[in-house]
């Protein structure tokens, strides 16, 4: 199982596999499975994304063709960029980045 999170131009911003942390490609026995994935809070900018959920056998075949596709509409809610409310959000992602600025003596 994996998903692609794409921008409005079809560019893949994130590709995440259910076994990204595995040291090798695991063998999966036949059966019914459920997979869950969580996209971190406040990662996405306010815009529309395409989420493509896919399944396949690595380097053998796709089991879902182009995948199950759904649109995600993200609204501004993180407080990022609130000091510039009239500015257009230009980035596809908008994580809250920790900055520290200090005056040098």
Q: What is the tens place of the pLDDT at every residue in 9-53?
A: 999 999 998 888 888 888 888 888 888 999 988 888 888 999 999
Q: How far apart are the first and last CA of the chain?
A: 54
Please state, in angstroms and rounded to a whole number, the distance separating the CA atoms of residues 16 and 6.
12
Residues 75-85 have a mean pLDDT of 69
Q: Which DSSP category does 93 fall into?
A: B
Closest CA to 20 of 33, 41, 38: 38
Tokens of 17: 């596999």
Q: What is the pLDDT of residue 11?
A: 94
Instruction: Give the percent of the chain with pLDDT over 70.
Output: 91
Distances (CA, A) of 19 to 23, 63, 80, 100: 9, 17, 31, 35
């Amino acid at each position: 199982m994996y998903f692609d999170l794409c921008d409005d131009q079809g560019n893949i911003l994130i590709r995440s596999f259910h076994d990204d942390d595995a040291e090798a490609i695991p063998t999966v026995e036949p059966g019914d499975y459920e997979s869950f994935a969580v996209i971190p809070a406040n990662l996405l900018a306010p815009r529309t994304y395409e989420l493509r959920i896919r399944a396949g056998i690595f380097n053998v075949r796709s089991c879902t063709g182009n995948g199950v596709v759904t649109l995600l509409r993200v609204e501004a809610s993180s407080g990022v960029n609130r000091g510039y409310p009239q500015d257009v959000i230009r980035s596809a992602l908008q994580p809250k980045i920790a900055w520290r600025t200090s005056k040098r003596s």
